[in-house]
A = this chain, B = another copy of it.
Amino acid sequence: MKFGILVNEGPFNHQASDSAYQFTWAALQKGHEIVRVFFYHDGVNNASNLSEPQSDDRNLVKLWSELGQEFDVELMVCVSAGLRRGLTEENLAPGFELSGLGQLIGAGIDSDRLIVFGD
């Protein structure tokens, strides 16, 4: 089955990105297709290659980045929400790309299910 994922919060203040990551990972392990993970609102902060979590804590930017590359999953960051929050091409972690908000609607059209994670 085809899933689209929307992440509305950054990797620290809320659990949204953790839950989205765990869900996405489990879905891939079960053989489902992830059409796209779209990052909106403060969710764009999940794509920042400047983030350096404590060494004994999980690193969600790295986890998403690796998942995106290993499973060839599109990790799309809303360009206008990102611009406001300081996300540019230069500080995107590998595997993430900036895109228009239309790609969120596209994810809804192309997916059998869209699942939203937020605060």
Chain B residue nearest to A83 in the complex (CB): B52
Which residues does chain B contribute within 8 Å of A83, judged by CB atoms? 52
CB-CB contacts below 8 Å: A69-84 with B: 80, 83-84
Chain B residue nearest to A52 in the complex (CB): B83
Tell me if B12 and A51 are in contact (CB < 8 A).
no
Chain B residue nearest to A87 in the complex (CB): B50
Copies of this chain, complex-wide, total 2
- Per-position 1/0 for A36-70, Cβ under 8 A of B: 00000110010011111110000000000000000
Q: What is the distance, in angstroms, from A13's C-beta to the closest C-beta of chain B?
A: 5
CB-CB contacts below 8 Å: A1-53 with B: 9-10, 12-13, 41-42, 45, 48-53
The 8 Å CB contact of A84, one of B12, B84, B119, is: B12
Q: How far is the CA of A108 from the CA of B44 in the complex (A)?
A: 33
Which chain A residues have a beta carbon within 8 Å of chain B's beta carbons?
A: 9-10, 12-13, 41-42, 45, 48-54, 80, 83-88, 91, 119
